[in-house]
Amino acid sequence: MKNRKGWLVLALAAIIAVAPALAEARGGGGKSVGTRGARTTQSAPATPTAPAARPVERTATPAPQQAAPSPNRPAQAAPATRPNAPTPAPQRSFMGGLMAGLIGAGLVGLLLGSGLGFEGLSGFLGMVLQLALIGGVIYLVMMWWRRRQAGNGNRYAYAGSTASGPAGGRDIEPTLHERTTEATGRTIDMAPPDAAPIPAEPVRQDDLGITKDDYEVFERRLIEIQTAWSQGDVGALRSMMTEEMLGYFTEELTANAAKGIENRVEDVQLQQGDLAEAWREDDREYATVAMRWRARDYALHSTDGSLVEGDRDQPSEATEVWTFVRPSGGVWVLSAIQQVR
């Protein structure tokens, strides 16, 4: 009884050890690996075929690093001040000086009984009249001051205008409707701030102009790579992918051989595909394509050919995002595979 339990534990452990490799048996190991140039760390744009692709989990592209501040950079010196420099006296505004002068003149006049020059007035009635006059003058001065401040504010608002002014001239800076981007030269049509928001213009995803011939190459690469994977033909794989991707495929083939397993991916048929993005980096061109395909995907024991996983006759489907790269005008080769969430 104990021996039977021991064999069951060993068998279960073997199944658990082999299961991940079989569940991800197809070429590429069912992982997100490779390089997408400068966009390796970015998510591939969503497409109808692949609404969300997993980010690249393993790549030879180094992660971008933020520049650290230089330790030898001298600290910014504080503004120099002269020793024993006299402290500037606080400036008095025009309005404050005028008010102080008027109030002072009124108080002196009241104390001397002469008022603001009205020598014939005296007593309580004269004092009331003088206070009313002072209040009226203060009110007029305040109104004048406010109008002056408002006028300065309007002038500052049109500081960018030409000499002819905002009414008869044109601003030095172009209007929002006339501003263009330096990279593309296209006019950005923006509404005034008080208008309803305009949806952002979608980013152009095809900077290369991918043609029908390119799509046929992508489909052919899918079939040829899976065929070479099934046959363990490393030479054929080398001609259809980057050295980095060849390393990942060879690593998976070696791991399967160590387990005594051979993976077969046969009768590959592309069901649906669409372009996620295509762009250029220096002398290289990249194209990321979402592909949903079906095939008979199964694994066999290397020794006797018995079935380990999958179905020899019933096809299964897979959806992946493949990125291809080529030198300008060259041949497309596989540079990355991303799985779909």
- 255-265 confidence digits (pLDDT tens): 999 999 999 99
Q: Which domain holds residue 124?
A: 95-168
pLDDT reading at 186 higher than 80: no
Which pLDDT band, with edges at 50, 70 and 90, does 30 fall under?
A: confident
- DSSP per residue, 167-220: HHS-BSSPPGGG-B-TTT--B-----TTSPPPPPPPPP-BSS---HHHHHHHHH
Query: Do residues 163 and 214 both lie within one domain?
Result: no
Judge whether 120 lies within some domain.
yes
Query: Do residues 233 and 335 both lie within one domain?
Result: yes
Query: Do residues 159 and 213 both lie within one domain?
Result: no
Mean pLDDT, residues 74-103 taken together: 50
Of residues 128 and 4, more confidently modeled: 128
pLDDT of residue 139: 77
Mean pLDDT, residues 87-92 taken together: 49
Mean pLDDT over all residues of the chain?
A: 73
Query: Do residues 234 and 287 both lie within one domain?
Result: yes
Spell 112-144 as b/e; 16+ CB within 10 A means b. Answer: eeebbeeeebeeeebbeebeeebeebeeeeeee
Beta-sheet pairing, 284-301 with 316-327: antiparallel
Query: Do residues 217 and 317 both lie within one domain?
Result: yes
Domain containing residue 222: CATH number: 3.10.450.240
Structural domain total, the chain:
2
Q: Which of 330, 220, 319, 245 is nearest to 276 (CA)?
A: 319
Helices (H), ranges, 24-122: 94-112
Judge whether 75 lies within some domain.
no
Which pLDDT band, with edges at 50, 70 and 90, does 3 fall under?
A: low
Instruction: Give burial (CB, 10 Å; 0-12/13-18/19+) of 60.
Output: middle
Query: Do residues 161 and 222 both lie within one domain?
Result: no
Of residues 33 and 12, more confidently modeled: 33
Task: Name the token pair of 142.
Answer: 């305040």
**Contact call for residues 293 and 318 (beta carbons, < 8 A):** yes
CA gap 202, 198 in Å, rounded: 12
Which pLDDT band, with edges at 50, 70 and 90, does 140 fall under?
A: confident
DSSP 8-state symbol, 340:
B
Beta bridge partners of 325: 286, 333
Query: Interhelix angle for 123-157 vs 94-112, to 10°?
Result: 170
pLDDT reading at 312 higher than 70: yes
pLDDT reading at 127 higher than 90: no
pLDDT reading at 213 higher than 60: yes
Judge whether 16 lies within some domain.
no
Judge whether 79 lies within some domain.
no
pLDDT reading at 22 higher than 90: no
Query: Do residues 332 and 211 both lie within one domain?
Result: yes
Which pLDDT band, with edges at 50, 70 and 90, does 142 fall under?
A: confident
Of residues 189 and 320, more confidently modeled: 320
CA 121 to chain centre: 80
pLDDT tens profile 267-308: 999 999 999 999 999 999 999 999 999 999 999 999 999 999
pLDDT of residue 152: 55
pLDDT of residue 190: 39
Residue that terminates a domain, selected from 147, 168, 189: 168
